[in-house]
Amino acid sequence: MTGGSELRISRDGQGDAPRPLRHALDAFLDALKIETGLREDIVLAVGEAISNAIEHGYCGGATGPVEIYARAPGNQTVVIDVLDRGRFIEREGGTPGRGFGLRIMRAIARSVSIDTQDGTRVSMVFDAG
């Protein structure tokens, strides 16, 4: 893995945004020589955060940017933030058959944190070594 590498990419948060963001992240992780299975898991977790940003970040038909900022700081970890400028929605209870995205992120990442100031930032740290 090459320390100090980073990727920052933004797309308008519309229905087709996840695909190019996931592809760019996959190429970045491949360039870092992240093993295929782990790379797929990371893309899955980040894809969940991207989908949540698009589906929940901008309500009422509004759209805005969704950004991923990925970096390999050189300590056998990959840190990835998914950002939107929408409003975080705290859901009470749950909807049957829904709400697995955050669980998936937490099952794959070493840590997941959410900051809801000035939009929403989901930060994930993955072991990559």
Taking only the tens place, the pLDDT of each residue in 35-47 is 999 999 999 999 9
Taking only the tens place, the pLDDT of each residue in 21-36 is 999 999 999 999 999 9
Sheet holding 111-115, edge to edge: 5-12, 65-72, 77-84, 120-127, 111-115
Taking only the tens place, the pLDDT of each residue in 74-106 is 889 999 999 998 876 655 555 545 568 889 999
pLDDT at 56: 74
**What is the residue extent of each domain of the chain?**
5-127
pLDDT at 4: 77
| Residue 48: Cβ within 10 Å count | 21
**pTM of this prediction?**
0.87
Tell whether the model's pLDDT for residue 6 goes beyond 60: yes
Query: What topology is assigned to 5-127 in CATH?
Result: Heat Shock Protein 90 (3.30.565)
